[in-house]
């Protein structure tokens, strides 16, 4: 009897001590599910939040609220979209903190929002070498010149039936209906941070676990382009998504795509209200000028980042 009880106890202890084995995601469907789950969750929560706000705001017990909503439907749509984006990305915060390439350590025992604040501080406020600062600084003019050349190309092709998207025109009308200060908040702060967290911070890093860096760059950019849901913005978003992922990969800091995204959105938003932009700069000549400047900046950026990485490896060998 004692031996039986002893053997049962030993078996029980062995069972408790046995490590849990997590199956590797080897099939294509398993990989796709792992990669796309955050994107699907983000879109579902964002859509639900937008529907809720669209119903709840006109129903507020405030005199004249319905008429006010009708008068301000476009800017209100922009604000609702921004608020829904912030709410939706909160559901990916844990995935982001796990996947993102951090510039510093995060205390995993702290509250998730405290961890996120620590991550932002480590990413945007830490001291960096002169080379790293230059790499990050180059992301700004690189993104701006690329965005301007692409915007000129899209504007010149506006008469093409394939690019004549009514949905794109509706999105533009909503985006540019807000005051300048609100546009800078929505498109210069909220949109860059949220979209970079989703597409570069989570999705790009997850794709890299299974595929090469170039494939991760292209696949994450394609998803970023499709997220905009119309052909002109798909082409623009895919091209800029590739550039942002390249900067993230070479610079090794989440700050790189965020600063690029911020600069691009703010400059494009401000230029939209400047008549000289359309009258003078939207020509094939300036499109080529900005494209050439972008190509030169990209070459200099890659060369500098590669040199910095080589210097770090040599320093590590010497220290070892």
For 232-257, what is each residue's pLDDT tens digit?
889 999 999 999 999 999 998 999 99
- In the predicted model, residues of the chain with pLDDT beneath 50 are 13-17, 19
Check residue 19 and give its pLDDT.
Answer: 47
Question: CA-based Rg of the chain, rounded to a whole angstrom?
Answer: 24
Q: How far is CA 170 from CA 78, 167, 175, 185, 227, in A?
A: 12, 5, 9, 20, 16
Distance CA 169, CA 187 (A): 17
Contact 168, 229 (CB under 8 A): no
Q: Are 95 and 202 in contact (CB under 8 A)?
A: yes
pLDDT value at residue 1: 52
Phi, psi of 157 (to 5 degrees): -95, 15
Give residue limits of the domains in the chain. 129-314
CB count within 10 Å of CB 87 equals 17
* Phi and psi based region of residue 252 (left: phi greater than 0; alpha: psi -120 to 50; beta: remaining): left
Q: Are 202 and 92 in contact (CB under 8 A)?
A: yes
What local confidence, expressed as pLDDT, does residue 316 receive?
62
pLDDT of residue 115: 87
Cβ neighbours of 194 (radius 10 Å): 23
Residue 174: its pLDDT value, please?
Answer: 87
pTM, rounded to two decimals? 0.87
pLDDT for 169: 80
* Number of C-beta neighbours around residue 255 at 10 A: 23
Helix crossing, 255-271 with 112-124: angle to 10°?
80
pLDDT for the residue 111: 82
Give Dmax (Cα) for the chain.
96
Which pLDDT score, from 0 to 100, does residue 148 have? 96
Structural tokens at position 2: 């004692």
Number of neighbouring beta carbons within 10 Å of residue 199: 25
So what's the pLDDT on residue 105?
56
């Amino acid at each position: 009897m004692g031996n039986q009880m002893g053997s049962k106890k030993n078996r029980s202890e062995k069972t408790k001590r046995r490590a849990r084995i997590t199956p590797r995601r080897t099939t294509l469907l398993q990989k796709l599910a792992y990669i796309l789950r955050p994107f699907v969750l983000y879109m579902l929560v964002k859509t639900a939040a937008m529907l809720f706000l669209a119903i709840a705001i006109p129903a507020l017990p405030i005199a004249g609220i319905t008429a006010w909503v009708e008068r301000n439907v476009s800017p209100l749509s922009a604000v609702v979209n921004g608020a829904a984006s912030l709410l939706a990305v909160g559901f990916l915060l844990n995935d982001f903190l796990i996947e993102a390439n951090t510039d510093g350590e995060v205390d995993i025992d702290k509250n998730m929002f405290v961890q996120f604040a620590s991550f932002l501080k480590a990413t945007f406020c830490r001291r960096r070498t002169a080379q790293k600062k230059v790499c990050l600084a180059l992301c700004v003019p690189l993104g701006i010149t690329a965005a301007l050349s692409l915007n000129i190309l899209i504007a010149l092709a506006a008469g093409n039936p394939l690019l004549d998207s009514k949905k794109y025109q509706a999105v533009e009308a909503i985006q540019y209906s807000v005051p300048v200060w609100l546009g800078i908040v929505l498109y210069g702060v909220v949109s860059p941070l949220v979209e970079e967290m989703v597409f570069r911070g989570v999705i790009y890093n997850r794709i890299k676990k299974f595929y090469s860096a170039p494939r991760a760059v292209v696949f994450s950019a394609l998803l970023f382009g499709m997220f905009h849901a119309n052909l002109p913005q798909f082409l623009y978003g895919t091209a800029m998504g590739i550039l942002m992922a390249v900067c993230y990969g070479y610079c090794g800091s989440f700050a790189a795509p965020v600063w690029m995204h911020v600069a691009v959105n703010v400059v494009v938003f401000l230029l939209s209200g400047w008549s000289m932009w359309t009258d003078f700069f939207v020509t094939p000549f300036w499109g080529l000028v900005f494209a050439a400047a972008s190509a030169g900046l990209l070459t200099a950026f890659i060369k500098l980042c590669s040199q910095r990485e080589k210097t770090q490896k040599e320093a590590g060998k010497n220290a070892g």
